[in-house]
Structures are given as structure tokens and as C-alpha cells.
Chain A
């Protein structure tokens, strides 16, 4: 569904992505792990077009998207969330999600008809929020929401674009451990056709929710495989997983 060919990026002398070749099939849950500074968020920024690669290509469903602007990649079916909440603080969750739905449906350019005329889009936004249990707060200003709810809204905004591939940059960042299981349960409950790649540091969560794991170190992909394969991989144990693997 999503693949890359020889993706390279350096900031000065610092190599943040080197010969990244990915091949994510449809409907698979991937975890992207690696120590801090391994280039995980950079990879998401490259895939979504926030950063331009020095070399390499990106394909979504067989179509090259390397030259597309970020918003065009989203319309092609590639959505993401942010590690640090990147929300519309002064808008309500319903308004926020409605923006994404209206944009997807091509209504956002309409400056003549009032919002109530777009009932189907508002209804869809409401339904999406209800699925993530945000319906009770959908009319509050986003800045007033509890932190965990804001993390869920991050995901709701991405889902409103009806992605084929969803990239989650530490979806549970800053969320207490007991709540993070709940958050990942919501992610696990997403459509089985959706390809999901999430960055996560908590190995319990990774081994519980990921079908496959990609390990990045120093801008390179070190290993890729099922949780079992990755846990047995000697190189992974050595540079990254050592203590966790013993614990598991």
C-alpha cells in the first residue's frame, strides 16, 4: 500500500534517513521503534511531505506521490497525527473534524452556503467523534478538553480524511499508562483495511498491538519482521532491545 525506494535525507553532515526502503501491505499494523534520534519522526515527515527527501521515491497504492504537496498526499489517502498536539485550540472538536470532512468532500471552497446545509458532513464528523467517545465534549473548545481526549482528537482528525494509510507519531505520548492501553484499543478497533504505522516507546504496547515491527537506528532500517522475529534478532537485541528482550 505504501512503499519507498532509497529514501535519503541529511541535515548538513547528520544523516537522518539513509536508503529507506519500506513496503507496507494493506491492513497491517506496524510499529516503528528505535532509540531517540533514530529518525522515526523524520521518516513520517518525509512520507507526508513536510520534509523533502534529498533522493528517493514514495509510492502510495502504486502511484508515485514524491512530488505531491502535503495536502495532496492526504487527499491521496495518507494521513498522520502529531507527537505534540497540533489541534485547533479555539474550535470545537465537531468543527475541527468537520473541516477535514468538508475538505475531503470538496465543499471547503463553498463560501456561499451556510454550514447547516452540509448536514451529512456534520453528521459524519459527529459519528466519528462518537466512535472515539468524544461526542460528549464535541461542542467544547478544544483547549478545554482533557489531554487524553486531545490525543484522541488527533486521531479523529486524521481519520476524517478517510486515509488508506495512517501514520501515528507517538499517539500515546504523555498519556498515563493505564489510559494508553485504552487509546491503543481504539487504534486496534480501526477498520481492518487501514494500514497503520505507529511510533511507540512502550514495548508492552508495541508487542501487544503491532503485527510487524520496523526498527530504525541512526537513520537506517535495522530490522523488519514480526514481533517474534524482531525480539530474536541479535542485532536488535544488541543496539536497542537488549534489556526489554530479556524482560520479555
Chain B
């Protein structure tokens, strides 16, 4: 790990001492960063544009919620099971997803996301419908209770983010990661050099679904609530915005994007809760105009200039 990376991860511990009253927000940021990281694997590296990625986040969130509702509240087991469940959903849907590109792909992911959200809404006997899932109780994590200040929540979310980040980092530096970049750069050429592109895409899509499911489970466990919002189109759109804001295909793009977006939303919303999306819109236009490769893309261009 390079010094800059080590410094970054050391800095993620700062909220414990510098802003202890914002640990709940910090935990949300870490969860959103993990969600954005999972989208980066499919969008930034493999070129799969998705407007329905919340399906896997929400599936993980509800799985973790249902487990703890039925007295199976041990968080680590819940996290693993929720991630596996989301991965299974990802694997099944990947067979459809990887056959399409461009506009058709956007419509398809959007459709699958809406489908799942509506299914969860109508299956209120299972999910609680619009009222949300009632009775979610997360057991202490290795003996640590989930406290009011969010200390355990942030430590837990951060640890999971860090571990899965290391996994994502290995993936993108592996031969498989290189093949994914090949698919992104030229999907037509890949079969002509003997690469089974669709199998590669199914695999990365499943891995991304596992990570998104883990992020969803973290949200359930750290907040002890699950609402339909976890499956909403808004969540899919937000994570896409976050990734583009930070810089897609850059590993840290999702994390940086999540920090900026979540902190900005917290600040703007406390100033003017109604018009929050006005500022999001402004931010998006500004990023597209001035930083087409996201914040990290802009920074790396600045860094390279003196050469």
C-alpha cells in the first residue's frame, strides 16, 4: 500500500476523536462508500451502466433485517448471509444483464430495480411494506453494543469497508481485472482474442452484488431499521451520482464521492431541507463541466501537469 493510501485510511479513524458527534453520519458515509465501490467494479471497470444497483443493496438490507427480526441477530453471521443472498440474486440476474449494453442495459437495470422495489412494497406480510420492517434488533457485535453515538456502528462499517476495499483492490490488479478493463475498452475485440466476456461479466456482477448486499446489511444492522427506501430508484441514482462525482474506474472514486456527497447533503439539508436536490443538480452540472473524470480525475490531472 502506498504512503498516500495508508495516510487516507489512517485519516478515516479521525472522526472517532475529531468529530465524535458525527459518527452516525461517518458510518453512513462508510456504508455508502462500500455501495459505490461495488458499483465501481461493474461500471468503472467492466463498463456495465446500472440504474438499479439498489436492488442488491436492498436485498441485503432486507435479508439482514429479516434474520435479526427472527431472533437471528448476530451481526457477522447476518452480514455474511445477507451478502450471499444478494450475490445469489446478482448471479441469477447477471445472466440477463450481461447480454445487453448501452440504453437497453440502463432500461433493464432500471426495470429490475423497480420490479424488486414494488415486490417488496406489496409483500407487506414479509417486509412490512411502506411502514418498514418492524422489530429489527441487532445483537452486540463481538460483545460491543451498538451505542447511541455510533461508535460501534462506525468501527464496524469502516472495518467491513476496508476489508472489502482490499478485495476490490486485488480484483482490479489481477488478470481478471485486466480482462474486465479490456471488456470496457472494447467488448467487440474480446471474443476475438479468446475471452469469454459474458462469463467474466457474470462473475464481476455477482461479486458487485455481494458487496452491495453487504453494504445494505450494514445499514440495517447499524440503524436497526429497514425501509423501502433501501430499494428505491433514488438510492440507485444517488450511488451513480456519487461514483461519477468521485471518479469512476479509480477505486477510490466511490469513497471520495461518498464523503463529499454525504457531508454536503448533511450540511445543505440542515440549512435548507426542501431544496437539497437543487444543490445536487448544481454539483452535478459543475462536475460534468469542469471535472469530467470526477474529483479524483481532476486531482490526478493536476498532479500530472508538471511533468
Contact = CB atoms under 8 A, between A and B. Distances in A.
Interface of A: 48-49, 69-71, 74-75, 79-80, 82, 86-91, 95-96, 98-100, 102-104, 107-115, 118, 121, 157-158, 160-161
A89 B186 CA distance: 8
Interface of B: 170-171, 173-179, 181-182, 184-186, 188-197, 200, 203, 207
A75 B194 contact: yes
B175 A107 contact: yes
A88 B182 contact: yes
A51 to B, nearest CB: 13
B206 to A, nearest CB: 11
Contact of A48 (B182, B192, B203): B192
B192 A102 contact: no
A100 B170 CA distance: 20
Contacts of A158: 192-193
A111 B174 contact: yes
Contact of A103 (B179, B184, B203, B207): B179
Given A102-B179, A111-B171, A161-B193, 12 more contacts: A70-B191, A71-B197, A80-B192, A88-B182, A88-B186, A91-B182, A98-B175, A98-B178, A100-B193, A100-B195, A109-B175, A110-B175
A121 B175 CA distance: 10
12 contacts: A71-B190, A71-B192, A79-B192, A86-B192, A103-B179, A103-B193, A104-B194, A108-B195, A111-B170, A111-B174, A114-B173, A121-B175
Contacts of B175: 98, 102, 107-111, 113, 115, 118, 121
A118 B177 CA distance: 13
Contacts of A82: 189, 192
Given A71-B196, A89-B185, A90-B181, A114 B191 contact: no
Q: List the 8 shortest-distance A-B pairs measured between CB atoms, nearest first.
A: A74-B194, A111-B176, A88-B185, A100-B193, A70-B191, A71-B191, A102-B175, A99-B182
Contacts of B200: 108-109
A158 B189 CA distance: 10
A206 B29 CA distance: 64
Contacts of B176: 108-111
B203 to A, nearest CB: 8
Contact of A115 (B174, B190, B197): B174
Contacts of B178: 95, 98-99, 102, 108, 115
Contacts of A95: 178, 181
A104 B176 CA distance: 13
B238 to A, nearest CB: 27
B170 A108 contact: no
Contacts of A108: 175-176, 178-179, 195, 200
Nearest to B174: A111
B170 A87 contact: no
Contact of B173 (A98, A115, A121): A115
A70 to B, nearest CB: 4
Nearest to B181: A91
Contacts of A75: 194
Contacts of B173: 114-115
B185 A111 contact: no
Interface-central residue, B178, B192, B196, B197, by most chain A CB under 10 Å:
B192
A87 B191 contact: no
A183 to B, nearest CB: 19
A157 B189 contact: yes
A140 to B, nearest CB: 14
A186 B14 CA distance: 59
Given A71-B196, A75-B194, A111 B188 contact: no
B189 A71 contact: no
A113 B185 CA distance: 22
A7 to B, nearest CB: 19
A100 B179 CA distance: 9
A42 B239 CA distance: 43
A104 to B, nearest CB: 6
A165 B176 CA distance: 27
A96 B184 CA distance: 12
A194 B186 CA distance: 27
A48 B182 CA distance: 20
